[in-house]
């Protein structure tokens, strides 16, 4: 389960529009619900907010968080390189 402190940090990085990214990761990993259908945005939000538990969705949220942090870091490094900042 994603704890409150983790949720706050994740929300800082991902903002409020994270469900599409999580859905993409779930699709990449071929993760579906018990009945074989893709999860919906509401289920992802419920897991993120601690209303439901689902390890696959939690892992996808964390994966999106990590990917987003890496993208931010790369963007900052590129920006600094262009501006000549060490």
Domain boundaries, the chain: 4-83
54-70 burial, b if ≥16 CB within 10 A, otherwise e? beebbebbebbbeebee
pTM for the whole thing? 0.90
Q: Report whether pLDDT(54) > 70.
A: yes
The C-alpha atoms of residue 71 and residue 64 are separated, in whole angstroms, by: 10
Q: What is the pLDDT of residues 5-34, one digit of tens each?
A: 999 999 999 999 999 999 999 999 999 999
In this predicted structure, the answer to whether residue 82 has a pLDDT above a threshold of 70 is: yes
pLDDT at 86 over 80: no
Q: Which residues of 1-15 are buried (b: 16+ CB within 10 A; e: fewer)?
A: ebeeeeeeebeeebe
């Amino acid at each position: 389960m994603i704890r409150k402190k983790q949720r706050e940090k994740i929300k800082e990085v991902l903002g409020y529009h994270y469900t599409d990214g999580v859905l993409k990761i779930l699709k990449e990993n071929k993760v579906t619900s018990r009945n074989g259908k893709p999860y919906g945005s509401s289920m992802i939000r419920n897991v993120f907010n601690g209303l439901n538990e689902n390890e696959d969705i939690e892992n996808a949220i964390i994966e999106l968080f990590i990917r987003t942090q890496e993208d931010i870091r790369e963007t900052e490094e590129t920006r600094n390189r262009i501006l000549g900042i060490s």
